Amino acid sequence: MVRFTCKNETSAAAFDQLVSQTIEAIRHHEPGTLVYTAHRVDGQPLQRIFYELYRDRAAFEAHEQTEHTKRFLAARRELLAAVEVDWLELQSGKGAEA
């Protein structure tokens, strides 16, 4: 899970456009990426949260090596004030195997 804080409203709009383009590429080119969702945070107009679920560590590493992910990582730098990453370990749930 990743929490992004945009610099301002203009940066947030640009970030949302970048995210839309990136997710479209993920949808079509990453079979090992099981879930990749972007969320706005209610009451926090500059924050976005991504929830990502990969088939395995190799699928995550493949995701990191794609051109669209590299482009996203480079372009986001100028738009963000902060990035917080939490690595989650699945214990149980619906829709995913532990």
Q: Model confidence over 5-29: pLDDT tens digits?
A: 999 999 999 999 999 999 999 999 9
Domain that holds residue 79: 2-85
List the beta strands (DSSP E) in 7-61: 33-41, 44-54
Determine, yes or no, domain membership for 44. Answer: yes
98 pLDDT higher than 70: no
Q: Give the model confidence (pLDDT) of 21-77 as tens digits.
A: 999 999 999 999 999 999 999 999 999 999 999 999 999 999 999 999 999 999 999
Cα(24)–Cα(45) distance, rounded to whole angstroms? 23
> How many domains is the chain partitioned into structurally?
1
Determine, yes or no, domain membership for 81. Answer: yes
- Among all chains, which residue has been given the structure tokens 């301002």? 8
Determine, yes or no, domain membership for 74. Answer: yes
Cα(19)–Cα(80) distance, rounded to whole angstroms? 13
